[in-house]
Amino acid sequence: MIRCGLEGGKGVPQRVAENPLAFVTVTAPSFGPVHSTRGGRTCHPRGNTTCPHGRSLSCTKTHLKDDPAVGSPICPDCYDYLGHVVWQYHAPELWRRAIQDVSRQLAARLGVPVSKVSKVVSRQYGRTAEMQARGAVHFHALFRLDGPLDEGIGAACGVGVDVMVEAIEAAFSRAQVQAPPTFECDQSRVLRWGEQIDIRIVREGSRTDDPDAPITGEQVAAYLAKYSTKDTSLAVPDGAHVHRIKQTCAEVHEAAILRAESRRAGEEVPVPVDSEGRDHYVLIGKWAKELGYRGHYSSKSRCYSVTYRTLRRRRARFQQVTKSRCYSVTYRTLRRRRARFQQVMQEETERAQRAGKPVDLAAVEEALLSQEDESETSVVIGVWEFVGVGWTNQGEVEIATAAAARAREYAQLRAGKQ
């Protein structure tokens, strides 16, 4: 799916490979100093500095990637676990607002109203989420700048990649979410992205096959695909730090449940509710296993590339055409059906590429059905229906009862010998 948004295929026109592309990485803010590899350098050389709890904030070790200490806080008491969980819980909403603001920033730089920016350019993206060693999620995304949205996927774009980079940087720098308090004695928080917003230009608007280029679309696609299938437990070492995050999720969840019960009893609760009348954190316990993150690990905009629904329909149709309808079907029939399916798909793909539009699956299905050979159809005359459960007559009932009695006697006899 990610590669189709880079170079086309599976119904996506190949002209998407000619549009500007940028690779964006955004991270969570800092919730306290943690042990890290730092590229083979010393972890935290801070001399004799100590925290309010009397612990040294200095770590002169050089940690390896498989070191269990990597990602754990230098001082667990100073680490903002509550802020970590709240930010993680609202990360999907923070991403959504940043994406919406990218379109506004593009409209401002192109001098068009926000409502009409899609008639000039359209921003498309595919992104994956990855857990850092400290248990905080960060996002990798491919942003592609297409032409007018009504011209289909991958429409030619006359806007440079620099405009898109400026819009993305401005949108993610100013995006914020107002998070309600978690406890009655807590205060609301303004959540933002971390300071590290890395934007790299993959291509400026034309296909490039230079092997010496610093970054290519194929490399980025492989990178995103790796993290979209990566197990969270492999990225975050299971230790006291992870258990503390899960415990914080459980504490926030229990407090939300108690507040919900108080509201049902008619008591006044200072913590506000959401638009549906529920406590904001009543579902956080469900996501404790994901360290509070409740979003998708892989997502995309609608017109970035092929959709999962389209892929499922194509697979289902292929299986429907090629499957055997009876046990006596021949391999020759299967080969003819596969060849017919490939021929129809090739013709429809070429027609879609010439028109600059996605493959019309309805037309493919109609063509396959119109060419269906009625001589290959098998008529099923056997029908299974439910009759009932139990024994058909009294004799079978007596036999089963006697067998069960003998089994019980045998089991009792064995138990007595033991």
pLDDT over threshold 80, residue 385 = no
pLDDT for the residue 373: 47
Strands 122-131 and 298-300: antiparallel
Distance CA 209, CA 173 (A): 32
The winner for highest mean pLDDT among 8-12, 96-100, 122-126, 209-213 is 96-100
pLDDT over threshold 50, residue 167 = yes
Angle at 217 between CA 122 and CA 176, to 5 degrees: 50
Angle at 29 between CA 28 and CA 30, to 5 degrees: 120
| Residues 261-320 pLDDT 10s | 888 888 888 777 777 778 888 889 889 988 999 988 888 888 888 888 888 887 887 777
Whole-model pTM: value is 0.70
pLDDT for the residue 418: 60
| Residues 169-205 pLDDT 10s | 999 999 999 999 888 888 889 999 998 888 888 877 5
Q: What is the mean pLDDT of residues 33-37?
A: 88
| Residues 204-239 pLDDT 10s | 755 444 445 555 655 565 556 555 555 555 556 678
Percent of the chain with pLDDT over 90: 20
Angle at 47 between CA 46 and CA 50, to 5 degrees: 80
pLDDT over threshold 70, residue 88 = yes
Lookup: tokens for 414: 């064995």
Q: Residue 301: is it exposed, middle or buried by C-beta count within 10 angstroms (0-12/13-18/19+)? A: middle
Q: What is the mean pLDDT of residues 66-86?
A: 89
pLDDT band (50, 70, 90) for residue 86: very high
Name which residue leads in pLDDT, 335 or 218.
335
